[in-house]
Amino acid sequence: MKSLLATLALTTALTLPGLAIARPVTLTTQLSNYGGDGAYLALYVTDPSGAYAGTLWMAGGKSKYYDSLSDWYRATGGDLGQINGITGASVGAGRTLEITLDLADALFDAGYTLHIDAAVEEMRNSPNEVAVPLTTTGAGTAVKGRRYVASFTYDM
Amino acid sequence: MKKTPIKRTLTVLALLATLPAGMAFADDDCSVPLANWQPREAVERLAQDNGWTLRRIKIDDGCYEIKGRDATGREIKAKIDPATLRIIKMKYKSDDGDDDDDDDDDDDKDRPRRDRKDAVNPTAPSMAPPNPLFGNGAPPKVLVK
């Protein structure tokens, strides 16, 4: 009985951390002064094979415009279930969107990539505006987007 | 023949009318032949699958439009494609009575207005995110500076 308990205690201690470990991460997206309306932004993650893994945040409240975030839309089929509870307002030109969340540890140094798709009314869509590999060494390094994002950083 | 100013204005207007519009976002009306419509029961099943409580199902702009509450009790209004039952548009009403999405009675339906919330910090979501990327299931904290 004692050995059974000991085994249980040991296996629990070994397996649980692997499942539960997460780290607080701050994603900072600073938009340039592109001189247009508020930008719709989709922040999502793909796995090492490039397959969609999940969405972290959707900035922009009107679902009818989500197809302008074309890579995200193609990956999810526009499934609103993917962003249930993780949507907010669009982000104005020159503003900074700061998202703090607990990200699963398993995403880092494992080939996962964080993407941002951007779209602005009357301006060009910018799918894959930002694509950064999630690595512990890449944290804190600012990356420039293609069209609307002046800089993107993730800090741990 | 010499053109009068009015004629010139009309010519310019006519030319402008033929120019293609700039980037336009997708329309949210439906145009599904009646034969392809799924019954209301299918919409009720969809609501059940999503954990929604329905108050009303009606037809608007050729789509099903439903009103009710989602699994967390938030007031919702959704437009559903009558053939595929895809959610075309979803509108949430927050506790403070503000719409988190557009209304049908918007005059500028095709323009994403700069949300009033752009000026302030958007409210943090109330429920756990749906994917395993979030380590502890807690919703993200969001700030717009």
Q: Are A58 and B130 in contact (CB under 8 A)?
A: no
The pLDDT score that the predictor gives to residue B130 is 56
Q: What digits encode the pLDDT tens for the residues B49-103? A: 888 888 888 888 888 899 998 887 888 999 998 888 888 888 887 654 455 544 4
The pLDDT score that the predictor gives to residue B21 is 40
Q: Are A85 and B123 in contact (CB under 8 A)?
A: no
Secondary structure (DSSP) of B29-47:
-----GGGPPPHHHHHHHH
Asked if B20 reaches chain A (Cβ–Cβ under 8 Å), the answer is no
Token digits for B61? 């702009």
The pLDDT score that the predictor gives to residue B118 is 39
Which residues of chain B are within 8 Å of residue A90 when distances are taken between CB atoms?
Answer: 112, 114-115, 118
d(CA B130, CA A46): 16
d(CA B81, CA B31): 9
Give me the residue from A90, A96, A103 closest to B135, CB to CB: A103
Where would I find the H helices in A21-85? 70-76
Give me the residue from B22, B130, B135 closest to A82, CB to CB: B130
User: In chain A, what's the furthest Cα-to-Cα distance?
Assistant: 71
Q: What digits encode the pLDDT tens for the residues A97-144? A: 999 988 888 899 999 999 999 999 889 999 999 999 999 999 999 999
The pLDDT score that the predictor gives to residue B75 is 87
The A residues from 74 to 93 touching B (CB cutoff 8 Å) are: 78, 80-82, 84-92
What average pLDDT is seen over chain A?
86
Give me the residue from B128, B139, B145 closest to A95, CB to CB: B145
Of B110, B111, B74, nearest to B92 (Cα)?
Answer: B74
Token digits for A156? 């741990």
Number of alpha carbons in the 13 Å side-chain half-sphere of residue B4? 3
Write the CA distances from A110 to A49, A134, B125, integer angstroms: 11, 8, 28
Q: What digits encode the pLDDT tens for the residues B20-44? A: 443 444 567 888 877 788 888 889 8
Query: ipTM for the complex?
Result: 0.73
Q: Are A65 and B25 in contact (CB under 8 A)?
A: yes
Give me the residue from A53, A68, A85 closest to B25, CB to CB: A68
Helix, strand, coil share of chain A (percent; to 5) = 25, 40, 35
d(CA A91, CA B144): 7
The pLDDT score that the predictor gives to residue B50 is 82
b/e sequence A53-75, b meaning 16+ C-beta within 10 Å = bbbbbbbbbbbbbbebbbbbbeb
The pLDDT score that the predictor gives to residue B111 is 44
Which residues of chain B are within 8 Å of residue A58 when distances are taken between CB atoms?
Answer: none
Asked if B57 reaches chain A (Cβ–Cβ under 8 Å), the answer is no
Residue B10 distance to chain A (closest CA, Å):
26
